[in-house]
Chains A and B, each alone.
Chain A
Amino acid sequence: MKAGLFICVYGVLFAASFYTYNQFYSNPTVEDAGRLLPAQVKEIAQADGEETLKEIVKQANRTGSRLTIAGMQHSQGGQTYYPGAVMIDMKPFNQVIDFQPEKKVITVQSGATWDDIQKHVNPYGLAVKVMQSQNIFTIGGSLSVNVHGRDIRHESLIDTVQSFRLLKPDGTIIRVSRTENADLFPYVIGGYGLFGIILDVTLSLTDDELYQKNTKEFDYSEYSDYFQKEVKENPAVKMHLARLSVAPSSFLREMYVTDYVTVEDQQLLKDYETLKKERIVALPKFFLGLSRYSGWGKDAFWDIQKQYMLEDNGSYESRNNVMRSETDFMAYESGTKTEVLQEYFLPVNEFADYIDDLRRVLEKEDEFNLLNITIRYVEKSDQAVLSYAKEDMFALVLLINQGRSEEEVKKSKAVIRKMIDVTLDHQGSYYLPYYSYPSKEQLETAYPRIDEFFRKKQQFDPDLRFTNHFYEEYNE
């Protein structure tokens, strides 16, 4: 009798504990900046040293766990995690290992951010060659997606990498460069973490310089010509950035460009070399907020942005500061909605025709909430197997506000696939770190070497120790 009572009580307690544990404790839920793919992972492992990382890989080989590698998780298609896999958080692995200012070379652990590097090298008058426009990302993450930025003279990130050390799926460590284990170099960079853990990287640096901002307003039809003649042919222009209107009254027609031109008197640099901090962002945040909700808001935001940039014409900024632009105003918190990115690359001379075609597609999509388009330029860079710049290309980054529900995702997918088709029709390609909206066929057209990439992955990591959403989605 008493025993029966105990069994009942114990049974209830056991079930309650087990349920609570499974619900809240067992598998931490993670998601990336896209917020469309929440997933329960087995465990989040902190990379607090090389030995720890080796141990994590060794243990995974013993237990059969899958591994994924995460930095800042600003990719949006689950490139940094997978359900049931161990997610390695690389952020604590962030030391500067070696710095030789006279040789303009730095070696850092892959969890370090561009901000860490900038703070380290700025006092020596040095700067990074290629990175994103923002400095919040880790080096390992940036390498794995082979980033580009505002710099127009140094191609992609891969071109500035001298060598790196790779912790292989079998737990051993090798050095990879253009001469050592050279076959791996173009796979691991732009390799989305599928070939192992990049431990540390040796990057070549360049001099910090003072630039003058040169901002002009344009009609989109004049842009290609302007760029070819005034930007590309002018060696004094080192960086370039443009913005295309998404406001209803000037949709995909008006644009403004900012060229960063080397100042002749570089003595002035010392007045501008202090690294800037994130400023108060209430105002742009407010206008971006307005533009999320109405066409009227988009018109207002565009006018104010353009006016602000034109008034800023002629001002000076150091290279390091150009490469640490504001991000806080873009932070967006909403339960039901999220903001996703797309990036399309297309040959410089295709620009005007492409924009006409893109406009035709988007004018029919009233519900598609496009918030911003920035344009930068990447020189042809075909070193990486998954290279996106097959020739000299413009890179258009689109910021899109969308719902998180299944239906909203479906709607976005339909529009995005149409945009990608237009891009591919103009010999363009698209960037891979985002949500898996593109179809497998689109992937194969944009990246003709994708099968070769997956084959190499399977050959190098036959147990598929490393994985992620991108791999599981497209590898078949």
Chain B
Amino acid sequence: MNYRQFVLSQSIIFMASSMIFPFYVLLLRNIGDSYSQFGWAYGLFALTSALAYPVIGKWADQFGDRALLLFYSLAMSVILLLFPLVTSVWQVYVLQIVMGILGAVQKNTEKAALTRRTDKKQAGADMGRYHFWTSIAAAGAIIVTGYLVDFLTIATIFYVASLLYAVSGFIMWQKKKSIL
């Protein structure tokens, strides 16, 4: 995995995740309808992430960042296929728990990979560039998604996001000379 690959795949992941998260609430609104259910859905997500971090940290050092990021992308692409089929709140909770674990994989490994690469002297500038590209992708995705949901259905965004995750996985899968 080279740095270009890494930034490109992470940008696509950001794009996909920013498609889902703001609009995910719409799905919850169709299924559940109380604020406490929102609270639980996101609380479970954060809680499972928290519990997963220490383990995942060790795995990253053991299996390598690429393997974990690849696993994350592919797993997300599959999990998202379940979202359009959700009909009750408990299913949302289960998905949130799985997404919590996967989210932790992504966050932790992304940071680890960046740290491993970054030259300490210009870490600030590097991070700035990295965040610029990933955030641009995210911003574009959020705006476009709004239209997608309006004109199509909420299910469309899950399918599109799933495809994006799959693409990001394939970008990482390609063997390129590693500089990470």
A residues sitting closer than 8 Å to B (CB atoms) are 3, 6, 10, 13-14, 16-18, 20-21, 25-26, 42, 59, 62-64
Contact = CB atoms under 8 A, between A and B. Distances in A.
Say which size band chain B's interface belongs to: 10 to 19
Given A6-B74, A10-B78, A25-B155, A17 B150 contact: no
Interface string B58-77: 00000000000000001001
Given A3-B170, A14-B162, A21 B78 contact: no
A28 B82 CA distance: 19
Given A13-B78, A25-B87, A18 B166 contact: no
A404 to B, nearest CB: 28
Given A10-B77, A26-B84, 8 more contacts: A3-B170, A3-B173, A6-B169, A14-B163, A17-B81, A59-B150, A63-B151, A64-B151
9 contacts: A6-B74, A10-B78, A14-B163, A17-B84, A25-B85, A25-B155, A26-B84, A42-B153, A63-B150
Contacts of B155: 21, 25-26
Interface string B136-156: 000000000000001101010
Contacts of A13: 78, 81
Contact of A26 (B87, B151, B153, B166): B153
B159 interface: yes
Interface of B: 74, 77-78, 81-82, 84-85, 87, 150-151, 153, 155, 159, 162-163, 166, 169-170, 173
Nearest to B162: A14
B84 A25 contact: yes
A63 B163 CA distance: 25
A63 B150 CA distance: 6
A16 B155 CA distance: 14
- The main secondary structure of chain B at its interface with chain A is helix
A64 B150 CA distance: 10
A14 B161 CA distance: 12
B169 to A, nearest CB: 8
B87 A14 contact: no
Contacts of B169: 6
Contact of A14 (B151, B159, B170): B159
Contacts of A26: 84, 153, 155
Most buried by B among A14, A59, A63: A14
A17 B74 contact: no
B82 A17 contact: yes
**A-B interface, 4 closest residue pairs, ranked by CB to CB distance from nearest:** A17-B81, A21-B84, A63-B150, A3-B173
Contacts of A17: 81-82, 84-85, 159
A26 B74 CA distance: 25
Contacts of B77: 10
B16 to A, nearest CB: 14
Nearest to A20: B85
A48 to B, nearest CB: 10
Nearest to A16: B81
Contacts of B150: 59, 62-63
Contacts of A64: 151
Contacts of B81: 13-14, 16-17
A62 B162 CA distance: 27
B96 to A, nearest CB: 18
Contacts of A3: 170, 173
B74 to A, nearest CB: 6
Nearest to A2: B173
A363 to B, nearest CB: 53
Contact of B85 (A6, A14, A21, A42): A21
A113 B151 CA distance: 34
B54 to A, nearest CB: 29
A271 to B, nearest CB: 46
Nearest to B159: A18
A432 B134 CA distance: 59
A115 to B, nearest CB: 27
A64 B159 CA distance: 23
